[in-house]
Amino acid sequence: MIQEPGWIDTALSDGPAVDRIGTLGPAGTSSEQAALYLWADRGPAGPPTIHLYNTYETAGQALRERTVSHVVIANAYAGIHSFYMDPSLRFVGAFLFDTPHYGIAASPGHRIPRRARIATHPAPVALVDELLPADYSVAEILYATSTSAAADQARRGETDLALTTQPAAKAHALEFISRTRPIRMLWSVFALADTSA
């Protein structure tokens, strides 16, 4: 096992080459940024090959079908247990990587009611209470499949607000109405069990 600052490497260095990384999308998720970090540290030189899926489970299926060589998952994702338990997969490493800044965002010009409907991925939901400005309260939390999907719900007017990342807010032309902050996160990397050394 190789230990470097920020890394737990159980079979990343001597396992299959990191040449196609699968994770949660669409573009703008924390997972996409984490995958880019993994590629920059452990992937080959050249443009990164990152495949973004609507769920971590779909990314896991792509790994089983060898469409991707590795999958990266936030340890804050409650469903990560099934990846650790799956005998067809192998945990090959983990790394510490802060997410992009998270905040609560709205479409410019949207009239935000005092009691607002807020879209979020389940993992960072506790940040809604932490970051929501005192002028507002929560009418309803609507769970989205990712931070980017949450931003899209606010953009479409399906919710008043979204808890989302800075890249996703920008991609969906949302403006933050709260302060923002990153989340210190551990990311787990999985490969196929039978191809890992």
Ligand X SMILES: O=C(O)C(=O)Cc1ccccc1
C-alpha torsion angle, residues 106, 144, 179, 171 (rounded to 10): -60
Residue 146 binds to ligand X (criterion: CB under 6 A): yes
Residue 120 binds to ligand X (criterion: CB under 6 A): no
Is residue 149 within 8 A of residue 135, CB to CB? The reply is: no
How many chain residues bind ligand X (CB under 6 A)? 15
Stretch 124-143: interaction string toward ligand X, x if CB under 6 A:
x-------------------
The binder of ligand X chosen from 12, 43, 99, 117 (CB under 6 A): 99
Q: Which amino acid does the sequence have at 158?
A: E
Residue 153 binds to ligand X (criterion: CB under 6 A): no
Pairing of strands 70-74, 2-4: unpaired
Residue 117 binds to ligand X (criterion: CB under 6 A): no
Residue number, 24 or 105, with CB nearest to ligand X: 24
Is residue 86 within 8 A of residue 100, CB to CB? The reply is: no
Is residue 5 within 8 A of residue 94, CB to CB? The reply is: no
Is residue 117 within 8 A of residue 161, CB to CB? The reply is: yes
The binder of ligand X chosen from 89, 118, 123, 174 (CB under 6 A): 123
Residue 30 binds to ligand X (criterion: CB under 6 A): yes
Taking the complex as a whole, the smallest distance from the CB of residue 106 to ligand X amounts, in Å, to 18
Q: How far apart are CA 37 and CA 160, in angstroms?
A: 32
DSSP assignment string, 109-128? T----SEEEEEE-STTTHHH
Taking the complex as a whole, the smallest distance from the CB of residue 88 to ligand X amounts, in Å, to 23
Residue number, 15 or 26, with CB nearest to ligand X: 26
Q: Which amino acid does the sequence have at 50?
A: I
Residue 104 binds to ligand X (criterion: CB under 6 A): no
* Binding stretches for ligand X (CB under 6 A): 24, 29-31, 74, 76, 99, 121, 123-124, 146-147, 165, 183, 185
